[in-house]
Amino acid sequence: MSRATITTKVQGKRQRFTLQEGELTTIGRASSCAVQINDKSVSREHCVAIFTNGRLCLNDLGSKHGVVHDGERVDRCDLAPGDSCQLGAAHLTFEAVLDAGSEPPPEPEPEAPPAPEPEPEPKPRTPEPAVVFADDDLPAEPGQVIGGYRVDEVLGTGGFGVVYRAQQIQLGREVALKVLRLDDRAGDGAARVEAFLREARAAASINDPHLVQIHDVGQDGELHFLSMELVSGGSLTRKVRRDGPLDWRAGLELMRDLAGALAAAHRAGLVHRDVKPANVLLTASGRAKLTDLGLASGTLQAGTVAFMAPEQILRRDVDARTDLYALGCTIYAALTGRAPFIGSKDEIAKGHLKDTPESLQRLGLPVPWHFDQLVVESLMAKDPDDRPQSATQLLERLDDLILPDSYPRVDRAPRPATVARARSTGEPGRAGGRNRNKALLARVLSELVVFSISAFIVIALLLGLKYHFPSLDIYRLIGK
């Protein structure tokens, strides 16, 4: 695996660092950064870098002084060996690419760096407490055998069923066993059984590494069950509750895994309808798998209101873009520890219909500006036309978000003629371009307002001076 060397120079002091190919590396003043630059002009977490395919890509993390490349402040820059950029007062140069086994050039003479100023510890973000289900009416008990599976313990509960850790006795295999929960008082037993079987058929029809695989489906007396692969890391809900919110790099990987799962489901003609942290399971290595396709391909408009798209709340037609809205809500919850809107069900529904969640950067999270825009303004756009139009298109945007232009891209599906034409003429695409143009216009207008107010104050002060001191030569004063 190749490596790259970079040097930083600030106030005459040089440091050299080696970057591994494909690894995201944070650059900043904080001691937790892999590339630490001890200078006040550099933010605690200034930018993130990734070296791949012989190129180095830097992405700003909302730093105070930004990343300056070719004399212009940019959100990201793509460097070749020998290129450089400015991080505050620090000069960063991409020196060379090292082949596997080769040694970097000798380090410059080390100089004692100034002792870093003590930084206040950031306040931990406490996640919202998860809902705890008090349920004394479970369909099965530990030790019970159902259709050749011995139940061990409860892993989770939901509206339709309870998931247990279980042993498949004949094969000696550990599985997750989902047992349907029926409520005689509701009078919807037949509909629940049909939805339960539909989940099994839908999930079993798709073979994708980002979807939980179904092993078996059956009935034992009055109990309906399905067995599926046991994902050892537990749910995303449990991880955030236990370890706190994810950082944005883990959120980016999570989004990519889930976008891949949705792309596979959508290719099969299925809309999930209930993407949420509780339906995201994590492997031991931290990769994500999507589960619970029980509402897919059905006519039910059910879901979880905290992660529900506006068109789903209004009981209008849903499609792949509905799942992408819920994916945006899920990533937001993973990064902040809470759903985008909280309160009563009515308050949450109103938020989805009319309000915009607070941006991740405004909440104090060190995320790249364009990643914030993708989650909050694009995926969670009220109008489905303003979101990415497919999970595959989202994967393309994730490629463009952080990686250098030379990085191998995901296999891209044929684009509609309108999108292809927009890209060939240099015009923004329908969904992503509209949001980028809105964001750019908002920034220009805000800067124009600040400039106008400043100019007005200066002119008013000068006129006031002239009024009180008629003999004062304002032009001479300005010239000085």
Question: Active-site positions?
Answer: 274
Compute the distance between CA of residue 441 and CA of residue 278 in angstroms, rounded to an integer. 37
The answer to whether the beta carbons of residues 27 and 43 sit under 8 Å apart is: no
Contact 278, 156 (CB under 8 A): yes
What is the secondary structure of 256-302 as a DSSP string?
HHHHHHHHHHHHTT---S---GGGEEE-TTS-EEE---TTTTSS---
Q: What angle do CA 417, 418, 419 make, to 5 degrees?
A: 95
Calculate helix-pair angle for 236-243, 320-336, nearest 10 degrees. Answer: 20
The amino acid occupying position 126 is: T
Q: What are phi and psi of 18, to 5 degrees?
A: -110, 130
Considering just the CA atoms, what is the radius of gyration of the chain in Å? 27
Q: Give the C-alpha separation, 393 to 399, whole Å.
A: 10
Please identify which residue in the block is written with the tokens 């537990």: 234
Check: CB of residue 10 under 8 Å from CB of residue 90.
Answer: yes
Report the Cα 436 to chain-centroid distance in Å: 18
